[in-house]
Chain A
Amino acid sequence: MDLVAIVLTIITASTPLLLAATGELITEKSGVLNLGVEGMMLIGAITAFATTTITNSAVLGVLAGAAAGTSMACVFGILVLIFLANQVATGLALTIFGIGLSALVGTGFVGIALEPLPKLDLGPISAVPVIGQILLGQDFLVYLSFFMVVLVAYFLSKTRLGLILRAVGESHDSAHALGYPVLLVRFLAILFGGFMCGLAGSYLSLAYTPLWAENMTAGRGWIAVALVVFGTWRAGRVALGAYLFGAITILQLHVQGWGLEIASQFMSMLPYLATIVVLVIISRDGAKIRLNAPQSIGKAFTPSR
């Protein structure tokens, strides 16, 4: 059994979850719950795929995918920030909308094959067993996903802007009283969430499985939302969660391949059960969690109040 190969598979399975969850983390930290991740990912996936097919450029594809995710988020932001529509319901409606729109746009792209996203190739260095293969032979979205985790962690804990974002999520009224532009901060946070979901979708249709098929996210958006909660609103833990989920998903497939005498449905349950169990373990220390959870999540803000 080739351990390196397994790790490589885990990385591909975890990257879309990580990208989307990192974006959702910022959105939620600003006090907005966007349940439309699945829809934004699908729109990102089809836009990236279509753009790459037409222009033959994967870079343009990824950019377009991210832009499409951002514009979906823009719709959400206008609805929940300006029209004060309920966040949970609007997010779900965004998903319904995204599934429909992506399917409509994608009609002409079913059955088209693409080359997978190119991987970093440093010649012999990338071929160095284990370290070279794992660390130096990925496509750029994988590196980007890690970079974004570090960036987001740094942003939230070390920068002034991060502090403002957290203040807005903590209590929009106090933040407003302090003179911070609550709505602007939230809008940008929502856009960032959409941007990352667009990247996650691009990764699905360009790198993970380079093809377009309706509803190809198959529930990954929901997992991303859950992972933010799992990570107790901390970037590092969200990354850990994405990799835990990805790893158990892959390992249960391997265990099945060995011919274990257990019904496959129970094997498929493992990632879900494992996240519950680990969440319970890390949540026991209630005080710490509450420090991280944005207190005003889901609540509408009106500056004139």
Chain B
Amino acid sequence: MKLKKSFGFIVMAVAMLGLSSTLSSVSHAETKVGFVYVGPIGDHGWTYQHDRARLAVEKALGNKVKTTFVESVKEGPDSERVIRQLASSGHELIFTTSFGFMNPTLKAAKKFGNVKFEHATGYKQAKNVGTYSARFYEGRYIAGVIAGKVSKTNKIGYVASFPIPEVVRGINAFMLGARSVNPKMSISVVWVNSWYDPGKEGDAAKALIDQGADIITQHTDSPAPLQVAENRGVKGFGQASDMIKFAPKAQLSAIVNNWGAYYVERTKAMMNGSWKSQDVWYGLKEGMVEMAPYTNMPSNAAALAKKTEEAIRSGDLHPFTGPIKDQSGKLVVEAGKIADAGMLLGMNFYVEGVQGSLPK
């Protein structure tokens, strides 16, 4: 009986095919660039910033490019299909903007040798797959320096998403920055096990403030923790974009993800034939990480923040310069040395001053 149902469906389908085939002739004079997003573009966080960068590409290259995006693509079985469909529908460069898209991107890249891929935050490259990531920890170090200057309780509340190296690196950079100006600083971390749950993120911030933190910072997507800081009269930092509108009295600064320049650069490279697979990790110097204006703090703190930012930008200062001790007091980076790339990429320990433990 259901057979008939599907038969009816097919009859309609064929009828529509006939009607529509005349409409489907679209010319592709412009270069097509595809973007795969893990969240909705309305998340006001990670995906929102990637989409602003996509718009920057459209603005910079005008009608020479046509961009396409697919949002809320779940990591897992769906992503490979979406990437392959973009590749097979004439997109010549495809940005896959979440770590979980790494293996699907590589699989699709194998099938579509002529298409170029750019995968964010991964570590596997191929001839037609480049990777890019941002040194957000540089911004977090500066935020730590500010916190060390501004905090009165010497306690920082850190709202975190998942224990992955990117997040752990941020926590450690923040701690090192804070301790560089005030060795008594400590960080309490609360994991909300979500990138995105405004209510829970806000609740975590409240819990941390109730436990004595007077600086709130976060590695989750929504402005909720910062809003809580504003309402409770403590200070905090914006995440991914300048969130001053949400906390005009509380935001000290914000670490801004700016992918726009990179996307424009790579799209141009693809168009003039100079695109090559590469592995870049850009920071303040290249403009992939930016700091929002230093506000709501004494001028000496702002001056120090600016100085630190300058030093990182010029290469005089690397946030992970020894001596660095882990929680047990063991020296993991010797004085004067800089943590090597492997340690930075796969960071899985807390530095001295961070409370709690990491899952092993």
Question: Is A264 in contact with B191, judged by CB distance below 8 angstroms?
Answer: yes
Q: Does A103 contact B (CB under 8 A)?
A: yes
Question: Is B196 in contact with A209, judged by CB distance below 8 angstroms?
Answer: no
Question: Is B42 in contact with A213, judged by CB distance below 8 angstroms?
Answer: yes
CB contacts (< 8 Å) of B163 on chain A: these are 264
- B173 CB to nearest chain A CB (Å): 19
Question: Is A214 in contact with B43, judged by CB distance below 8 angstroms?
Answer: yes
Interface centre among A9, A12, A16, A208 (most CB of B within 10 A): A9
Give A188-223 as 1s and 0s: 1 = Cβ < 8 Å from B's Cβ atoms.
000000000000000010001111011110111000
Question: Is B190 in contact with A256, judged by CB distance below 8 angstroms?
Answer: yes
The complex places the Cα of A259 from the Cα of B358 at a distance, in Å, of: 10
CB contacts (< 8 Å) of A110 on chain B: these are 42-44, 48
Indicate whether A218 sits within 8 Å of B194 (C-beta atoms), given known contacts A107-B42, A209-B199.
yes
Indicate whether A214 sits within 8 Å of B42 (C-beta atoms), given known contacts A9-B206, A9-B210, A254-B210.
yes
CB contacts (< 8 Å) of A254 on chain B: these are 207, 210-211
The complex places the Cα of A258 from the Cα of B207 at a distance, in Å, of: 10
Q: Does A285 contact B (CB under 8 A)?
A: no
What number of B residues sit within 8 Å (CB to CB) of A? Answer: 41
Query: Which of B89-97, B128-136, B223-231 sits within the interface?
Result: B223-231
CB contacts (< 8 Å) of B192 on chain A: these are 253, 268
Indicate whether A261 sits within 8 Å of B210 (C-beta atoms), given known contacts A110-B44, A214-B40, A256-B189.
no
Question: Is B199 in contact with A259, judged by CB distance below 8 angstroms?
Answer: no
Question: Is B246 in contact with A264, judged by CB distance below 8 angstroms?
Answer: no
Q: Does A113 contact B (CB under 8 A)?
A: yes
Indicate whether A5 sits within 8 Å of B191 (C-beta atoms), given known contacts A113-B246, A211-B198, A264-B163.
no
Indicate whether A215 sits within 8 Å of B190 (C-beta atoms), given known contacts A256-B356, A261-B357.
no
Q: Does B279 contact A (CB under 8 A)?
A: no
Question: Is B245 in contact with A218, judged by CB distance below 8 angstroms?
Answer: no
The complex places the Cα of A159 from the Cα of B10 at a distance, in Å, of: 54
- B46 CB to nearest chain A CB (Å): 12
The complex places the Cα of A265 from the Cα of B190 at a distance, in Å, of: 11
**Residue in B203, B231, B245 whose CB lies within 8 Å of A249:** B203
Question: Is B356 in contact with A9, judged by CB distance below 8 angstroms?
Answer: no
**Residue in B42, B199, B208, B231 whose CB lies within 8 Å of A204:** B199
CB contacts (< 8 Å) of A106 on chain B: these are 42
Question: Is A211 in contact with B190, judged by CB distance below 8 angstroms?
Answer: no
Q: Does A179 contact B (CB under 8 A)?
A: no
The complex places the Cα of A159 from the Cα of B199 at a distance, in Å, of: 37
Q: Does B200 contact A (CB under 8 A)?
A: yes
**Residue in A249, A260, A265 whose CB lies within 8 Å of B356:** A260
Q: Does A112 contact B (CB under 8 A)?
A: yes
Question: Is A216 in contact with B198, judged by CB distance below 8 angstroms?
Answer: yes
Q: Does A132 contact B (CB under 8 A)?
A: no
Question: Is B203 in contact with A250, judged by CB distance below 8 angstroms?
Answer: yes
CB contacts (< 8 Å) of B191 on chain A: these are 256, 264, 267-268
**Residue in A13, A103, A204, A258 whose CB lies within 8 Å of B203:** A13
The complex places the Cα of A91 from the Cα of B203 at a distance, in Å, of: 29
**Residue in A6, A107, A220, A261 whose CB lies within 8 Å of B199:** A220
Closest 7 CB pairs of A and B: A264-B191, A259-B355, A259-B356, A218-B197, A209-B198, A214-B42, A253-B207
23 A–B pairs (Cβ distance < 8 Å), ordered by A: A12-B203, A16-B199, A103-B40, A107-B42, A110-B42, A110-B43, A110-B48, A116-B227, A208-B199, A209-B199, A209-B201, A209-B202, A211-B224, A214-B40, A218-B198, A218-B199, A253-B204, A256-B190, A256-B356, A257-B157, A259-B356, A260-B356, A265-B193
